Structure formats: structure tokens, C-alpha cells
Chain A
């Protein structure tokens, strides 16, 4: 190995670390400016509503299908594990709890995150590489206020709403499978559902959904706005936005769960 190659190899981890830190720094700067611009960006009601339709209504069919089958499979798996050990009255309890605390918010966020962060990154990325973002700045219009804030607000509002739908549909899915195929009576299932039901469980799920919404919008906007180099760059930005959203959703899920159930609701 020559000296220059050795230098290059030695410098690689440092360069990668620096690039990663710069990326993280840029995300926080974007998040900071977005939060600062919310009061002025929120006045653009029309833009926010358009984005809410795209994020919320657009994701509804996907969310419903995912939730329905999530509830259904939860019922099948739980009844299999309960057999001979746990009374079936707890089937409703375990489905209800696991759906509102974990499955509803996380699976909705992963599915919507894939769809929405990709859409945001692709749209803003195309605007960036075709100089539309620059053009907006030259017109004295802040892209953060005009492009990022409406998408950010729409996502943090719609994700908890989608999660509420997902919770209901998933429980319905579990109920249908339990009653129609597992010989569990409707009364047993609903009694179990009410047993140990805590409103704070639902809230914890919605708090998670709110933060997942922040992640999805921020990653989509971040990678979209920094994309460069034409179609290839936009494609790469889109992929990165989806991967980063999904990873962060799972990591933040753990952090939030630790905080909510070990500190706040302990």
C-alpha cells in the first residue's frame, strides 16, 4: 500500500463521520427553521389543506388495508399462543393493547412514511434540480415557509388521525377473525377489550404518531431539498428519505416507549 493510499484509508472513517455529522446538523437546522416558520407558514391554509389531502386521504386506503390485516393476524397469532394456557377473554385485551400502543402507530407510520416521505422527496427534489427552489428564493419567497411548513403541518396533523383510523380498523380486523374463525364470542372479545383499557395507552400511540409525522416530513423535505444532479439525484434522495424515515421511526419508537411507559405513565 502506497503512502497516499494509506492516507486515504485512514481518512475514510473521519470523512464518513464528518459527512454524517454534517447531515445530522442540516436536519436539525431544517427542523429549527421549520418550527420558526410555522406561525407564518400556517397562514397558507390552502397549501396546508392540499397537503393534508395528499397525506391523509391519499394514504387512507393503504392504512385501512394494512390495519385490517394487522388486526387479523394479531388475533390468529395471539389465539395460537393462548391455546391451553390463557383464557380467550384476554384475546380482546391483548389485541386492543398491542394495536393502540404499538402496531397502530408504528405500522401506519412505516407505511405512510414510505409513501409520503418518498412523494415529498421526489417533488421537492425535482423542484431543486430544475432550479424551481432557487427561482422561489429569487422571488423573495422562503421555500421553508412555502414548501416545507405546509408539508410538515399536514403530516403531523394527519398521522395521528390516520392512526386513530388504523387502531379502529385493526381492532375490527381482530374482532372479525376472533368471532368468525376462532370460536370466540362477540361478548368475550369486547369484554376483554374493555378489561384493563386505559385512555393513556391511546394517547401514547397518538403522541408517537405525532413524532413519527415529524420524522416523515422532515426526512422527505431534507433529502428532497438537498438533492442534486438530475433524475439520478432525485431517485437517490427519494430512497434515502424512505430509508431514513423507516429507521428513525423504529429508533424513536423505542426512545418514546421508554420515556412514556417508564417515566411519564410509570
Chain B
């Protein structure tokens, strides 16, 4: 059985007055691409932020490579994060820096590499996401899709072992979305990166997933391969994947 890279055990999280996660149990084997689907506001991003320690569970544990994230001090947490990359929904590029500086920041901070090598890696990563020659652009001059791709290049700069994607294709045109989907798949297949993708784009989910988990009412409602999920008779999952307004899920 493959080694577990990420494991949630009874994770509960309350934010404000809302119990967002109400006992999430989930494990992701090393090298797997797990897609978490669920409605807007169901806590998918919250779940993702627990993996990288941006949020800590109120109860339960999140284990990354067998280590409880909540038990780490700041320095240890920063080290764990160096081996991870996260793509934020909005891109979250640093707008005081150029695209090139964004992508190269982690390399400048964490590696002894010289400027020519860093510049080489930066252009390589930008080429990977189809943004060759944008090093000197400011994030504010990029379109939404370009921002997201630049942010992906930044997340990949340190060759992470684990990638977390928060809505990687939302707001992108279908062609760019397909580029991102293929890229996620390629990274996972060629480099064996463990990935968690949070999305409500089912097309993207079927494309990239080894397994799909549905988060519903603070718990993992269903887990299965894309084929299993497509064939399920569970009314909640069926309604979600077919995008119907009729069924047990009410419009919010």
C-alpha cells in the first residue's frame, strides 16, 4: 500500500459562528492527485489551508508525512512549507514586485543560488506555464488567467513535493483551463507530486483526478475514482456533478 502523504483525522474547524469542518477524515497517498469538490462556502479552501498550516484545526489532527502540523514551531513549519507549493484562488501575487521577482522570491530566500541561475529557473518556470518573457511585467498589468499562471510558476519554483491548488481553473477561458489541467496532470505523472485540487469545475476534476472527494456539510460525503463518482447513485453527489438545481441540495 502506498505511503500516506497527507492525512486528516477528525478535523473540526469553526470560523466565526460557522462550523466549517465537522470531522473530516481523509488520506492522500504519496503521488496521488486528489480533487476535492463541493459547493461554494462548503469549506474546501479551509480544508486546503489546514494542509499547509495557514489554519490549525480546533480538534483533530492534520498529518503531513506523518508529522502533526499543529505540533510544529514557526521555524519547523516554514521548513515544511518549503517542500510545498500552493496556488491561491486569486493568484495572490505580490503586487509590489515584478512577475520575475515573484517567481524567484523563494529561491532568493531559501537557496544559495546566484542571480544568473535564479533568472534561468524563473524563465524556465514561466515557460512551463506559457508566460515566457513576462519577467519584468507588474502583476497589475496581467489578465486574470495570466496572474493565475504566474502564481503557479511561483508555487513551482522550489520544485515542491506537494502541490495545493485552490480553484486553479476558475475564471479562466476553457483553453487556458485545459492548459492548467494538463500541467497539473503532467506534474503529477512525471514528477510524482502529491496534489490536492479544490474545485467545483467538474470538467477539470475528471481531467486531473486520481480520486475525487466531495465535501458536504463539513464532512467528506463521498470518495471515489472519477468513474465511481460519475456512476454513483448518491443523490447529493449526483445533483452536484450534474449541476442540477433540483434535488437535496438547495440553492444558496
Contacts and interface: CB of A to CB of B under 8 A. Distances in A.
Interface of A: 33, 127, 130-132, 134-142, 146
A140 B82 contact: yes
A260 B158 CA distance: 52
Contact of B92 (A135, A140, A141, A142): A135
B197 interface: no
B173 interface: no
The 5 A-B pairs at the shortest CB distance, nearest first, are namely: A135-B92, A140-B82, A131-B92, A138-B86, A140-B81
B78 A135 contact: no
Contact of B74 (A136, A139, A142): A142
A162 to B, nearest CB: 24
Contacts, number: 60
A132 B81 contact: no
Contacts of B89: 131
B94 to A, nearest CB: 6
A258 B92 CA distance: 47
Contacts of B110: 140
A135 to B, nearest CB: 4
Given A131-B90, A138-B86, A141-B105, 11 more contacts: A132-B92, A135-B93, A137-B54, A137-B81, A138-B85, A139-B81, A139-B82, A139-B106, A139-B109, A140-B79, A140-B158
Contact of B54 (A132, A134, A140, A142): A134
B20 interface: no
Contacts of B109: 139-141, 146
Interface string B9-28: 00000000000000000000
Contacts of B54: 134, 137-138
A135 B74 contact: no
B81 A134 contact: no
8 contacts: A131-B90, A134-B54, A135-B86, A137-B78, A138-B54, A138-B86, A140-B109, A141-B109
Taking each of B49, B92, B155, which has the highest tally of chain A beta carbons within 10 Å of its own beta carbon? B92
A135 B82 CA distance: 12
B84 interface: yes
Contacts of A136: 94
A130 B54 CA distance: 14
A138 B81 CA distance: 6
Taking each of B81, B89, B158, B164, which has the highest tally of chain A beta carbons within 10 Å of its own beta carbon? B81
B127 to A, nearest CB: 20
B88 interface: yes
A130 B78 contact: no
Contacts of B84: 138
Contacts of B93: 132, 135
Contacts of B234: none
B95 interface: yes
Contacts of A134: 49, 54, 88, 92
Taking each of A134, A140, A142, A146, which has the highest tally of chain B beta carbons within 10 Å of its own beta carbon? A140
A132 B85 contact: no
Contact of A130 (B90, B158, B164): B90
Contact of B78 (A127, A131, A132, A142): A142
Nearest to A137: B54
B154 interface: yes
B52 interface: yes
A127 B94 CA distance: 8
Nearest to B151: A135
Interface in B197-231: none
A130 B81 contact: no
A223 B16 CA distance: 19
B207 to A, nearest CB: 24
Nearest to A146: B109
A134 B55 CA distance: 10
Contacts of B155: 138
Given A138-B54, A140-B78, A140-B82, A131 B105 contact: no
B88 A135 contact: yes
A39 to B, nearest CB: 13
A140 B86 CA distance: 11
A48 to B, nearest CB: 15
B196 to A, nearest CB: 13
Taking each of B49, B81, B105, B109, which has the highest tally of chain A beta carbons within 10 Å of its own beta carbon? B109
Interface string B70-85: 0000100011011011
A144 B205 CA distance: 37
A77 B235 CA distance: 82
A224 to B, nearest CB: 14
A130 B90 CA distance: 7
A137 B109 CA distance: 12
A138 B162 CA distance: 12
